[in-house]
């Protein structure tokens, strides 16, 4: 009764809040700007721009299907408790403000870019004394990015040269000017001007940073020209040391331009942007051309895309991607025409000071390039769908390569490896180790006690454990699915050609469909399978083989460990039979608390009494058995 009253009161409160919210929409201005939705805790959950704030914000609440019209999840509007707004002078200002608010607050329902971080950027931080370094992280607050760069080695050399010329710090260190310690080694070898120790003024340091920015924008000629003028001024005033310092800078800049080819003039760059989406996931491919040649390919996933169409996603992507970028192309070709292309071009002009043309190619060479970009987005989407369904990303390509190299029927998403541990005729055991989607999965490991084979017949033992394992595939699952109930894509046998043939016959006789079988001979490091009946030399250095090798080693370790455990328990059990007062029940308690007879020997009387069921007299008898 009490719960029903609470629920009823909650419904009344929600209805009241909803009514207040609807009334507040009436006073929204019919002007250009940004609207901000907040939840009951006051947290911003969505930011949008609008030519008419009044009409756009109200449209979310008019009609039962409006959630889908603006492509938000069902129930999105029920989370909104208040609406704020900021009026701007024009749409470009609104677009800039929208981007800043999204970056600052990271609202739950605005789209979020996740890139594959294929290439690094040179980044300049927004500190009083900025740092300059190479990174793949594009989420550093208020930083400026230049690139991306395909040649990582060259980019690192450029950073080294720039630091030696302009002496910019790359460490976080202490707050500049506040360090109680002398400058570090970088200062003494000419790679830093030691702002931490107050060796350079903030204005002089920032002038050096500005020169680096201009250099990375391709304005090296203007920098050299300015430096030469200053050098001549110093020379005319007989300040030869200062003139010599500038001469070294000029030489260093000219050397970078001559030796390194990664600094591109952005006026000669084109970007091609293509989007491919499916339900709640969207993939973006970005092809960057420099001087008519494909230089860089970047891929992204857009989260929170809902059911937005391509022509709605493209402006959002452009706004987020180029927000902190300083390497801006002269032309951006897009896979779908957008209504706001003029607005995007104005945004570039105001925000970046660049004239950028945004258009959809319709024919000729540019259209062919766009087709290629779209195809790449499709492939990237398929890859990400696979990764999302499996929960793993790193093993996808390796599994495909393993399939192709060995001529398997399946992508080996579930791999099982089998080994026999048979040291002498006593305690023969088998093991099964498992990898799922390229990751070792110890929870699915299983042991086998050999039941029907005597002697040292490894082939017969393999046949027994594989038959016992495969019979579970025909047993209906009534509860939680056990490891044995899951069909393997690939069975790996620790052994040679004969072991392969033995297991292959068992699998074929069961008619369970396309389960692949291979074996690995450890001594010769040869692989046997359908494609390589006579064997193929194993390449232990290849990435796609590492999972097989590791699983084989795990199977050997797991089988040997079980063999030792059974042997130790047998020996311990035999010893306990000779001790007065230790019957079957007490033996069971003891065996649950120890792994080997050596462990039992090391226990003192007090530790033995801590075992359930063992009293003082029992503990003394056990101790005396080993120590009298």
Of 3-12, 170-179, 472-481, 523-532, minimum mean pLDDT range: 3-12
Strands of 144-146's sheet in order across:
132-135, 121-124, 144-146
Is the pLDDT confidence value at 469 over 80?
yes
Residues 32-75: tens digit of each pLDDT: 999 999 888 888 888 888 888 988 888 887 754 444 445 566 66
Nearest of 435, 401, 415, 437 to residue 492 by alpha carbon:
415
Residue 359 or residue 11, greater confidence: 359
Q: Return mean pLDDT, the chain.
A: 78
Instruction: Please answer whether residues 402 and 396 qualify as being in contact, where contact means their C-beta atoms are separated by less than 8 angstroms.
Output: no
Backbone angles phi, psi at 97, to 5 degrees: -65, -40
561-to-162, 347, 417, 568 alpha-carbon distances in Å? 57, 66, 16, 11
Write out the H or E segment, with its range, that includes residue 548: helix 543-576
Of 107-121, 309-323, 412-426, 474-488, minimum mean pLDDT range: 474-488
Number of helices followed by number of strands (H, E) in the chain = 20, 20
In this prediction, residue 614 has a pLDDT band, given cuts at 50, 70 and 90, of confident
Is the pLDDT confidence value at 341 over 60?
yes
Instruction: Please answer whether residues 434 and 413 qualify as being in contact, where contact means their C-beta atoms are separated by less than 8 angstroms.
Output: no
- Torsion over CA of 508, 441, 523 and 463, rounded to 10 degrees? -30
Does the predicted TM-score (pTM) go above 0.75?
no
616-to-289, 508, 613 alpha-carbon distances in Å? 84, 59, 10
Domains and CATH numbers, the chain: 19-109 (3.40.1440.10), 121-259 (no CATH), 269-388 (3.30.420), 398-565 (3.30.420.340), 577-627 (1.10.150.20)
- The encoded tokens of residue 548 equal 């097989």
Residue 448: which residues within 8 A CB-CB, separation 6 or more?
429, 430, 431, 432, 464, 465, 468, 469
583-to-467, 574, 578, 593 alpha-carbon distances in Å? 37, 12, 10, 16
DSSP 8-state secondary structure symbol assigned to residue 355:
-
Would strands 526-528 and 516-521 be described as parallel, antiparallel, or unpaired?
A: antiparallel
Backbone angles phi, psi at 515, to 5 degrees: -95, 120
In this prediction, residue 273 has a pLDDT band, given cuts at 50, 70 and 90, of very high
In whole angstroms, give the CA distance from residue 349 to residue 343.
10
Q: Write the burial class of residue 318 (CB in 10 Å: 0-12 exposed, 13-18 middle, 19+ buried).
A: buried
Residue 280 or residue 123, greater confidence: 123
Strands of 44-50's sheet in order across:
44-50, 33-38, 82-87
In whole angstroms, give the CA distance from residue 498 to residue 462.
11
In whole angstroms, give the CA distance from residue 96 to residue 83.
20
DSSP 8-state secondary structure symbol assigned to residue 335:
S
Instruction: Please answer whether residues 108 and 62 qualify as being in contact, where contact means their C-beta atoms are separated by less than 8 angstroms.
Output: no
In whole angstroms, give the CA distance from residue 221 to residue 215.
9
Residues 117-165: tens digit of each pLDDT: 556 788 888 888 888 888 877 777 778 887 777 667 777 777 777 777 7
Is the pLDDT confidence value at 363 over 60?
yes
In whole angstroms, give the CA distance from residue 23 to residue 20.
5
Residues 181-226: tens digit of each pLDDT: 677 777 777 778 888 877 888 888 888 888 888 777 766 676 777 7
Q: How far apart are the first and last CA of the chain?
A: 72
Residue % of the chain over a pLDDT of 90: 5
Is the pLDDT confidence value at 490 over 90?
yes
Q: Which of left, alpha, beta for 66 (phi over 0: left; psi -120 to 50: alpha)?
A: alpha
Q: 443-467 burial, b if ≥16 CB within 10 A, otherwise e? A: ebbbbbebeebeeeebeebbbbbbe
- The encoded tokens of residue 532 equal 């390589």
Nearest of 589, 559, 557 to residue 572 by alpha carbon:
589
- Torsion over CA of 505, 511, 515 and 520, rounded to 10 degrees? -10
């Amino acid at each position: 009764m009490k719960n029903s009253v609470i629920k009823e009161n909650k419904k009344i409160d929600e209805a009241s809040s909803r009514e207040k919210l609807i009334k507040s929409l009436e006073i929204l201005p019919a002007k250009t700007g940004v609207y901000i939705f907040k939840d009951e805790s006051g947290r911003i959950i969505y930011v949008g721009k609008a030519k008419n704030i009044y009409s756009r914000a109200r449209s979310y609440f008019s009609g039962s299907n409006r959630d889908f019209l603006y492509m938000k999840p069902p129930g999105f509007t029920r989370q909104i408790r208040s609406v704020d707004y900021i009026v701007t002078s024009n749409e470009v200002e609104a677009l800039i403000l929208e981007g800043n608010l999204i970056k600052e607050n990271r609202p739950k329902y605005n789209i979020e870019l996740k890139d594959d971080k294929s290439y690094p950027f040179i980044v300049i931080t927004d500190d009083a004394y900025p740092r300059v370094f190479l990174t793949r992280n594009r989420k550093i607050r208020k930083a400026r990015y230049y690139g991306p760069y395909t040649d990582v080695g060259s980019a690192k050399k450029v950073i080294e040269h720039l630091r030696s010329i302009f002496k910019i710090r790359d460490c976080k260190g202490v707050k500049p000017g506040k360090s109680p310690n002398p400058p570090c080694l970088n200062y003494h070898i000419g790679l830093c001007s030691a702002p931490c120790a107050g060796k350079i003024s903030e204005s002089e340091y920032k002038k050096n940073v500005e020169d680096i920015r201009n250099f990375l924008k391709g304005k090296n000629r203007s920098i050299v020209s300015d430096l030469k003028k200053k050098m001549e001024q110093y020379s005319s005033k007989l300040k030869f040391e200062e003139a010599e310092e500038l001469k070294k800078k000029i030489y260093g800049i000219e050397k970078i331009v001559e030796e390194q080819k990664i600094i591109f003039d952005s006026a000669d760059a084109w970007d091609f942007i293509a989007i491919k989406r499916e339900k709640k996931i969207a993939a973006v491919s970005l092809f960057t051309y420099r001087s008519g040649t494909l230089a860089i390919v970047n891929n992204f996933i857009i989260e929170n895309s809902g059911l937005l169409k391509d022509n709605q996603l493209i402006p959002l992507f452009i706004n987020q991607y180029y927000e902190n970028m300083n390497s801006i192309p002269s032309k951006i070709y897009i896979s779908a025409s957008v209504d706001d292309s003029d607005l995007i071009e104005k945004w570039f002009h105001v925000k970046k000071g660049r004239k950028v043309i945004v258009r959809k190619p319709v024919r000729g060479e540019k259209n062919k390039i766009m087709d290629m970009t779209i195809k790449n987005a499709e492939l990237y989407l398929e890859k990400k769908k696979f990764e999302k369904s499996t929960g793993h990303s790193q093993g996808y390509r390796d599994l495909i390569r393993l399939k192709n190299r060995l001529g398997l029927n399946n992508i080996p998403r579930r791999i099982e490896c089998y080994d026999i541990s048979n040291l002498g005729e006593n305690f023969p055991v088998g093991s099964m180790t498992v990898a799922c989607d390229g990751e070792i999965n110890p929870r699915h490991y299983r042991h086998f006690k050999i039941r029907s084979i005597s002697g040292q017949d490894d082939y017969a033992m393999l046949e027994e454990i594989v038959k016992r394992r495969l019979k579970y595939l025909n047993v209906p699952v009534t509860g939680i699915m056990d490891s044995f109930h899951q069909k393997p894509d690939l069975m790996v046998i620790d052994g040679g050609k004969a072991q392969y043939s033995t297991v292959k016959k068992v699998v074929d006789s069961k008619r369970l469909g396309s389960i692949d079988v291979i074996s690995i001979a450890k001594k010769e490091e040869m692989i046997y399978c359908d494609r390589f009946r006579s064997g193929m030399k194993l390449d232990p250095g290849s990435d796609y083989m590492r999972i097989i090798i590791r699983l084989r080693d795990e199977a050997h370790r797991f089988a040997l460990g079980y063999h030792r455990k059974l042997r130790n328990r047998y020996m311990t059990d035999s010893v306990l039979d000779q001790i007065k007062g230790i019957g079957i029940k007490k033996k069971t308690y003891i065996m649950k608390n120890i792994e080997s007879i050596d462990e039992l020997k090391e226990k003192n009387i007090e530790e033995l009494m801590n075992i359930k069921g063992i009293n003082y007299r029992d503990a003394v008898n056990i101790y005396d058995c080993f120590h009298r």
